[in-house]
Structure 1
Amino acid sequence: MNEQSKAYLALIIGAVMIAFSPVLIRMAGAPGIVASFYRLAIGTVVLSPVFFYQYSKNKAVLNTRGVLFALLAGLSFALDMAFWTTGIMETNATIPTLAGNLAPLWVGIMAMVLFKERNKKGFWLGLLLALAGVSMLVIQDLYYPKGMFKGLMFGLLGGIFYAVYIILTQPGRKLLSTISFLYLSTLSAAVFLGLFLILMGHSFTGYSTQAWVLFFIMGVLIQAGAWFLINYAQGYLPASLVSPTLLAQPVLAGIFAYLMLGERLTFWQIVGGVIVVSGIYTVHFSSGRK
């Protein structure tokens, strides 16, 4: 098996692993922000030996601007996780995850405003498709109110902050190594989530044994393991292949939620979801800038 084949296998495994995340958050039964904190905190602990080994081996001096970008990216990721997981606990595992995956659209708009990049026609077509799909989800909730609108809004807010994270990652990765940026941004996100947790009056303790086991699984297998596999794949595969593959997450999350939690979507929610994913794919395949 050559390196590209290994990388694609790693990418597929990583994508499947992160698709379990919203389901595990629901199963933990703790507030979404608590589950997010422990996922990031445990992930930081797992990544620490790798970071400090590389740091001591290379005797590298961390670039100050790079560290600042990593810390700000961590804040953005913390806000993304807080909104996304709260949406999951308010509604179900699928709708907030689907809304959160609209991040590529916000990245394209932010790049146009901040960096004066011009998007191709395919981007705007994808944006219209995605918004049409989201509109179907909103209209569905207005006629059959089940709290989905709140979860959708939390997911959208999470996606916007994840887009900010992506924007900050671009200059940050030019100044720091992959492991340095990943570790510092994860550490920063864990610290900010801890602060949010305190400000919101949630407890760090008092959760079930099942919740603690799931916190550990999310920290080790998803935050450290899955994202390590994805970052490894990114070193060998083009973004045009990586990004669409990762967009399988909301689809897989919906399947896992049905199998493991018994969550069912209505016909119009499924149709709206398919349109949203189609729009996101269209954006990715037109990701080249004018």
Structure 2
Amino acid sequence: MQTNTQVSPTLGLVAAIVAISGGAILIRWSQAPSSVAAFYRVLFTTVPLLPIAVWRYHDHFGRITRRDLVFATLSGIALAVHFAAWFESLSWTSVAASVTLVQAQPVFVALGAWLLLRERVTRRMAVGIAVAVSGMAAMSVGDFLGGVAVGPRPLYGNVLALVGAVMAAGYVLAGRSLRQRVDLIPYVVVVYSVCTATLLGIVVLDGHALTGYPPREWLLFVGLAVGPGLLGHTVINWALAHLDSSVVSVSLLGEPVGATILAAVFLSESPTLYTVAGGVVVLFGIYLTASERTV
């Protein structure tokens, strides 16, 4: 894919992966309830987009049909559950396991597209799904077989991370056709607004306070929005206009690797041999699935 941008898309993609990899570390550093951190992460990502949406795309919102609005709402709810489940998983399992498992969403996108949309699953994709699932199983039970685990309840945390991956796949599936008819900024604003409202409901139902946190927590909330949110996913969306989608998709597999390294440096958290071995298998399975879907 040709590009005439003065900024290297490859360098931008690398910086975005680093920014996303740091998200798990910021979540671990936060002492606020996970649902509160997730709420402010999405809220502070959405707010800067509102003036742009009102100024340049105000007339686009009226063109969104009722059917598209329903799918955007479902997409936003799925994204909210993704964030809530994944943020909570980091309280119970290792960073390496949580980030690797939640990154498995391409596997569930392929399964969902086959089950719900009757899309064809190639032999390579089937192998990739099988490999990824076997790696997930190894990660989830291996630590117990070895007698050593990272995290107070690693199996519970791993399940939450998988729920986050399934919900991320639902977010992608619900919004995939929608993005063909709705511009990026109006789509993101609607979906993120629904996501923010859903997370607010989760915070209220959990009985957590929205205020009263020390300055350190607010800096972490902003960091989650600016780092993984604006500098991470926004730059990735920009890179997609200059690089092949297969390159970008496979590059996202660098997040679990980066997060594991950062966790070792900043959290003194070393994953067990079973987590590393199972994680490698999962990443290989994701690679087979994702690279086939984007060819």
The TM-score range, normalised by the shorter chain, is over 0.9
**Which residues in structure 2 correspond to 1:1-290 (within 5 Å)?**
2-3=4-5, 6-56=8-58, 61-64=62-65, 65-143=67-145, 144=147, 146-287=152-293
Distance 1:47 1:73 in 2: 18
Aligned residues: 288
- Paired amino acid for 1:20: G
- Paired amino acid for 2:17: A
Residues 213-236 of structure 1 deviation map (CA, whole Å, 9 limit, x = unaligned): 110111233223322211111222
Q: TM-score, length-normalised on structure 1? A: 0.93
User: 1:4 deviation in Å?
Assistant: 9.2
Distance 2:244 2:25 in 1: 29
User: 1:5 deviation in Å?
Assistant: 6.5
- Paired amino acid for 2:113: A
Distance 2:266 2:125 in 1: 35
Distance 1:283 1:224 in 2: 27
Name the CA shift for 1:259/1:231 in 2 (closer, same or farther; >3 Å): same
- Paired amino acid for 2:204: I
Structure 2 residues not aligned, in runs of 5+: none
Residues 173-197 of structure 1 deviation map (CA, whole Å, 9 limit, x = unaligned): 0121011111211111111000011
**Contact 2:86 2:102 survives alignment (8 Å):** yes
Q: Which runs of 4+ in 1 moved over 4 A?
A: none
Distance 1:98 1:175 in 2: 32
RMSD: 1.9
**Contact 1:66 1:171 survives alignment (8 Å):** no
Residues 148-205 of structure 1 deviation map (CA, whole Å, 9 limit, x = unaligned): 1111000000100000000011111012101111121111111100001101111112
Structure 1 residues not aligned, in runs of 5+: none
**Contact 2:60 2:186 survives alignment (8 Å):** no
User: 1:258 deviation in Å?
Assistant: 0.8
Q: TM-score, length-normalised on structure 2? A: 0.92
